[in-house]
Structure 1
Amino acid sequence: MTKRDIASQDATTLETAPTRYIEGHGIRFAYRRLGPATGTPLVLLQHFSGNIDAWDPAVVNALATDRPVIAFDNAGVGRSTGQTPDNVEAMARDAINFVDLLDLSKVDLLGFSLGGCVAQQIAAEHGQLVRKLILVGTAPKGGEEHLLAVLQDAFSKTDAPDPRLPLFFTTSPASQSSGLAFLKRAKVRQDDRDTDNGSAVTDPQAKALITWCATPDPGHAILRAIRQPTLVVSGSHDTMLPASNAYAMSRELSNAQLVLYPDSGHGALFQHHEMFVSHVRTFLDAQPVAA
């Protein structure tokens, strides 16, 4: 990394980076790019209902100190045009189209929740494109999910300042305090914030996630097709996509490491952001072990 790269990176954060656009395949994709100009880009695949500004700056900015990081809105989400698909396979195709438009020949993927399902599909189908894979708070095809029940419970808590507080964090004082800190960080950006497209995004995304988990995958064909080194991360008390999914994935993947964070829910990567960033850096920087 050159001094110029470092200076450029230091001046740009998720809160200050301009939203860029690139168009192709009938879609105008919105994205932000942080970090140095060189290195294998880490592409972020977002959770159900989330857009670029739903990422935690503490995670994104820290990861971007030593590698390019790209956060983007997939088709129909945020400021990206097009229609949000109702299945994971189409979401994966749209994400691949975005990567192709940026002319990236090799990427690392970080998929959170629904984004983790999309990341699995991409890694299984495009082994030459994906170098390493990070799956956070997600499930394999045919896995266990409680999306609608957890959403209903979270939105019934009308005293919560944001639905993500009961959705992503446990009821312990420590977790709730971390949740409030995350919400504060996520709201720092005031200018050029991403947009919430409501049910036009959440309805098809809910169908995609529920269908993914309800569809059996005999012999775990998708997981078995993923040969890349994979870091699997979960919160110990994830109520939306339980930690049993993470254990199941780590058993079936050929080259996986499993990390389970204590007293944490679906947003474990935001609650334990410093530890998460440290684990991700160690994983991405490690040299592959010769077979």
Structure 2
Amino acid sequence: MRYAKHLKQALLQAAILGATLAVPLTVMAGDAAPAAEAPIAARTWANVPTQMISAAGTQFAYRELGKQNGGTPVVLLNHLAAVLDNWDPRVVDGIAAKHHVIVFDNRGVGASGGTTPRTMEEMADDAIAFIQAMGFEQVDLLGFSMGGMVSQEIVLKNPGLVRKLILAGTGPAGGVGIGTVAGVANVDILRGLVTFQDPKQFLFFTRSPDGIAAGEAFLARLKERAQDRDKDIAVSAYLAQLAALKAWGDKAPADLSVVKQPVLVANGDQDRMVPTVNSRDLAQRLPNSTLVIYPDAGHGGIFQYATQFVPEALDFLAR
């Protein structure tokens, strides 16, 4: 009986790991040859090289676009179980057309070294260390889902480091349903396995015809990078992030009225992972916020509406 229980747990964890990061079957993460380096001005999310930098004793993997644009760098912070290749190329390239954009793997995730933190506060400390190691005195933050929670901790810990924030598909500490994200995620991961679909089709998008089509288009875009793909997230890292989400959901709400920076809050109107009510709550708690809610859209609303979100983000950052 004990053996059967352990076997069941191992199979579930393997299923979670295998389904969380869907990659083209012909291009396994970390196995492809490094992408040829294109001239800086010609680089896109599909061919920009992955680099490494040491910060606070950890080697962080990152990619950098639009450095020639100058100005305040925009640092992107990723969602649960995500590595570099989970960012929508249309969002990254769209913002990098006007801004210096940096995306990095959290500690213990993807190609970054170290052990994955079990709290948002620790992840924020790592992000601050990374930003400072890059030599940036001030940045803009675009945090999606879990990355939006980390972004809130960053601005509370070090407000002078942050000029503006974009918080997408996320919520405040103690927000509605945040502590139960693990249940929603794991059910849809298994749902994806049963139906032979990527679980992000269920987790990020609605089941309407438009939502399904948007999910298929998004998943196709994630496969555009054919070489030098990131490493898969480990099961242990995924479980640590789930623990961090549970702790964030159980945490007492922070006083966000102290955040004076301009904030753009965005989400779909039918977010199942971090219920949309949390985005409205965030916008009310933040004194200098703008709220955008996309119709017939789920957790991945900024990806479904990338052609609308990118101009809105650019306009917000340019104000």
Which residue in 1 is equivalent to 2:43?
12
Q: d(CA) in 1 for partners of 2:55 and 2:141?
A: 21
Kindly state the Cα deviation for residue 153 of structure 1 after the two structures are TM-superposed: 2.6
Instruction: Map Cα deviations across residues 67-101 of structure 1 (whole Å, 9 max, x no partner).
Output: 10101001111100011100000000000000011
Letter in 2 for 1:260: I
2:109 and 2:234 in contact (8 A); partners too: no
Q: Does the alignment pair 1:34 with 2:70? A: no
Q: d(CA) in 2 for partners of 1:8 and 1:274?
A: 26
Which residue in 1 is equivalent to 2:137?
105
What is the 5 A alignment of 1:142-161? 142-144=174-176, 145=178, 146-157=180-191, 158-161=194-197
- TM-score between the two structures when normalised by the length of structure 1: 0.92
Which residue in 2 is equivalent to 1:69?
101
Between 150-159 and 133-142, the greater mean CA deviation after superposition: 150-159
What is the 5 A alignment of 1:113-152? 113-144=145-176, 145=178, 146-152=180-186
Kindly state the Cα deviation for residue 160 of structure 1 after the two structures are TM-superposed: 4.2
Q: d(CA) in 1 for partners of 2:174 and 2:186?
A: 22
Which residue in 2 is equivalent to 1:24?
55
SS in 1 for 2:316: helix
Q: d(CA) in 1 for partners of 2:106 and 2:141?
A: 14
Q: d(CA) in 1 for partners of 2:97 and 2:39?
A: 10
Which residue in 2 is equivalent to 1:3?
none
Instruction: Map Cα deviations across residues 136-158 of structure 1 (whole Å, 9 max, x no partner).
Output: 00110110223122113312322
Task: Calculate percent identity across the aligned residue pairs.
Answer: 43
SS in 2 for 1:128: helix
Q: Does the alignment pair 1:163 with 2:195? A: no
Q: d(CA) in 1 for partners of 2:311 and 2:171?
A: 23
Q: d(CA) in 2 for partners of 1:9 and 1:109?
A: 23
* Equivalent pairs, count: 277
Moved over 3 A (4+): 7-10
**Alignment match of 2:84 (pick from 31, 45, 52):** 52
Q: Does the alignment pair 1:236 with 2:269? A: yes
Kindly state the Cα deviation for residue 199 of structure 1 after the two structures are TM-superposed: 1.4
Letter in 2 for 1:178: A
Between 130-139 and 192-201, the greater mean CA deviation after superposition: 192-201
Kindly state the Cα deviation for residue 210 of structure 1 after the two structures are TM-superposed: 1.4
Calculate the aligned-residue CA RMSD, in Å.
Answer: 1.3
SS in 2 for 1:81: coil
5+ unaligned residues in a row in structure 1: which ranges?
1-6, 287-291
Q: d(CA) in 1 for partners of 2:315 and 2:236?
A: 38
Kindly state the Cα deviation for residue 121 of structure 1 after the two structures are TM-superposed: 0.5
Kindly state the Cα deviation for residue 10 of structure 1 after the two structures are TM-superposed: 4.0
2:118 and 2:244 in contact (8 A); partners too: yes
SS in 1 for 2:290: strand
Which residue in 1 is equivalent to 2:284?
251
Between 139-148 and 239-248, the greater mean CA deviation after superposition: 139-148
Kindly state the Cα deviation for residue 169 of structure 1 after the two structures are TM-superposed: 0.4
SS in 1 for 2:63: strand
Kindly state the Cα deviation for residue 263 of structure 1 after the two structures are TM-superposed: 0.5
